[in-house]
Structure 1
């Protein structure tokens, strides 16, 4: 698991909603995700770091996850762990 800690963050592939949505609807969906995500487990500080990383450019995102102790399993941040092995 520790070998995965060195994986470099990369920009994810573009995502497309199955139906047309507005920018406001997309922002609301993102806010709802980040508001509810910590309730599924894990520490709030790690969720906050992942949100900051997801909203930053790739170089800053890398620095954020490294400083927060996030173990990046998938380079697009779709699968991450904290140092205790909790999945995010």
Structure 2
């Protein structure tokens, strides 16, 4: 007559991550524009706080498949608040917010001409 709470791992780092739900950008963007937006975000993100090594791990996770991303998040000690990685924390409590455009493509992405 054990309790059923044994399913709960109790470890925020072990939270299963997933890609964001389909989303639409405020205006149509090309793949080249999306790439520039992502580069600009990753270049400036560390200037808004947090540790560079956590930003680097988040970028690697954002650009990896889900299995590898899960391993990166776990090994970096990143605490996932939202399973789509839009809000995370490091072990010191610093908050990291990622826009959906660095995590997946919008539904209104248009081809480069």
Shift >6 Å, 4+ stretches: none
For the pair 1:69 / 2:94, whether they are aligned, the reply is no
Q: Select 1:25's aligned residue among 30, 33, 41.
A: 33
For 1:21 and 1:87, the matched residues in 2 are separated by 28
In the TM superposition, residue 7 of structure 1 has moved relative to its aligned partner by: 1.0
Out of 78-87 and 16-25, give the one that drifted further: 16-25
Q: Unmatched 5+ residue regions in structure 1?
A: none
Q: Radius of gyration: which is bigger?
A: 2
Considering fraction of residues, name the structure with more helix: 1
TM-score by length of 1: 0.91
- Judging by fraction of residues, say which structure has more strand: 2
Cα deviation 1:4-39 (Å, max 9, x = unaligned): 222111111123222221111010001111111111
Q: Does the residue aligned with 2:29 lie in a helix, a strand or coil?
A: coil
CA-based RMSD of the aligned residues comes to: 1.2
- Which digits, 9 at most, give the CA deviation of each residue in 1:22-72, with x for residues without a partner? 111010001111111111100000000001101111110000000111011
Size of the aligned set, in residue pairs, is: 87
Partner of 1:42: 50
Q: TM-score, normalised by structure 2?
A: 0.72
